[in-house]
Amino acid sequence: MKKVLNRDQFPKVLGISVLVFLFSTLLLSAQEVGQTLVAVPTTEQATASTGGDVDKGKSLFNQNCAACHKLNDKATGPALAKIESRLADEGLDREWIYAWVKNSAGVIKSGDSYAAKLYAEYNNTAMTAFPTLSNGDIDNILAYTAAEPATPVVSAATIETIAAEPTSGISNNTILGALALVFALLVFMLFSVNKTLRRVMEANGVDLVKEHPKSVPIWRAFAKNQFLILVTAILLLLASGYFVYGWMMQVGVDQGYAPIQPIHYSHKVHAGANKIECKYCHSSARVSKHSGIPSLNVCMNCHKSINEYTGGPEGPSQEDLANGYTNEFYTNEIKKLYQAVGWDETNQKYTGESQPVEWVRIHNLPDFAYFNHSQHVSVAGIECQTCHGPVEEMEIMYQYSPLTMGWCINCHRETNIKVEGNEYYEKIHAELSKKYGVENLTAAQMGGLECGKCHY
């Protein structure tokens, strides 16, 4: 197993302080540039409107349509960019669109040839009727679909903004930098004082007498003193014993283990940027001993419509780019998912040829230790991050905790059990807390340190 140790923070700190030095002067002007950049597309969109409000249309589209439609790609339903002009080519007017959106099934039933064709093309799935949308709403949506999409403009200046942003204000790095500067200055001063003094000495003719009394070299004295050797040997043995023991104790402890997975799944993107709740995917953590790796059909709940990675409006960060995490990279990973689950993107169909994903397991508890997720997640209400660390910041998932018995026990000793609203605990908690004379019982006092609770 390959181990990634906690990365040394020093080069990073140095790099960032240099960045601070370089860009702090550019800070103000860059922010101004950013603001102007945001302002540009709005004006463009406003001018592109065709009898509807593009902004309102966008939000309506995202609320109602985006689950099945995309602007430029076929999804569950057809692509909708410039739909009105394309329908006009078929000889269908806006009235037809109103009718279709409000009750597509009705239009199909009425024997409309285009509607029937559409219905057949999309696997005989009728579009959900939206009777609540007014004609005005539909106008707005159409305006949005007709508008030229805003291409995100990524200039060097914006990247600089992002890089500089976290350092705004007086951070530790600034202070460290300043201290280093002062230290260098002091060293320089000491050096120059020494030089000056010597010069003065020479000028005054004072001769520096260097006397070397003939003495036994220290190593020989040491070698002669057998007691000292004995003590040193013992100390050395003890010290090496200590380190060997320390090294042995980390055998099998895979803290920081971050294997390369068959699909580059980024928790940072899913749990961090998109704020997906952990237990949406790891649903069995609520009821089972396993948190469960989500099956691919869970992925497809979202990825049926999300077939490419667009990232944030600001685009990938420089760090991401340095690691090769471009939008295309992520999109490629989504394609790997499609490959595995057997999803035919062009026809929006499952081919039935699936290839299960062989994830590399990160958290490997030995067989003789029983751990139950639901006990901790549902009963105790512990956050996933308590044991798994800041998963929402992990681009590559790694083992955050040591998962040793000492680590488990420690937490059991320190953590109070959550009794509120749990009828099971009522009686036992009242009796036990009285017995131990405490207000809140820890897991250990409830019996959470007994061998057989985890080993059977």
442 binds another protein (CB under 8 A): no
Rounded CA-CA distance 317/395 in Å is 13
**Which H or E element spans position 385?**
helix 384-388
251 binds another protein (CB under 8 A): yes
386-405 residues near another protein, rule: CB under 8 A: none
381 binds another protein (CB under 8 A): no
Q: Which of 93, 358, 393, 414 binds another protein (CB under 8 A)?
A: 358
Give the 3-state secondary structure of residue 344.
strand
Helix residue ranges per DSSP H, 165-225: 172-204, 218-224
Q: Please, what is the minimum distance in Å from the beta carbon of residue 257 to another protein?
A: 9
Other C-beta atoms closer than 10 Å to the C-beta of 153 total 11
21 binds another protein (CB under 8 A): no
Q: Is 130 left (phi over 0), alpha (psi -120 to 50) or beta?
A: beta
Q: Are 45 and 198 in contact (CB under 8 A)?
A: no
Q: Please, what is the minimum distance in Å from the beta carbon of residue 303 to another protein?
A: 13
Q: Which of 49, 158, 339, 374 binds another protein (CB under 8 A)?
A: 374
Q: Which of 32, 44, 202, 431 binds another protein (CB under 8 A)?
A: 431
Which 8-state DSSP code applies to residue 69?
Answer: -
Q: Please, what is the minimum distance in Å from the beta carbon of residue 363 to another protein?
A: 10
Contacts (Cβ under 8 Å, ≥6 apart) of 195: none
Q: Which of 332, 372, 416, 442 binds another protein (CB under 8 A)?
A: 372
135 binds another protein (CB under 8 A): no
Judged by beta carbon, residue 101 or residue 285, the one nearer another protein is 285
Size of the site for another protein (CB under 8 A): 56
264 binds another protein (CB under 8 A): no
Among 141, 135, 146, 139, smallest CA distance to 45 is for: 146
**Which H or E element spans position 349?**
strand 349-350
Rounded CA-CA distance 355/336 in Å is 10
Q: Which of 16, 80, 334, 341 binds another protein (CB under 8 A)?
A: 341
Q: Which of 39, 216, 368, 437 binds another protein (CB under 8 A)?
A: 368
Give the 3-state secondary structure of residue 157.
helix
Residues lying near another protein in the complex (CB under 8 A):
1, 251-252, 254, 259, 284, 287-290, 292-298, 340-342, 354, 356-361, 364, 366-370, 372, 374-375, 378-379, 421-428, 431-432, 435, 447, 450-453, 455-456
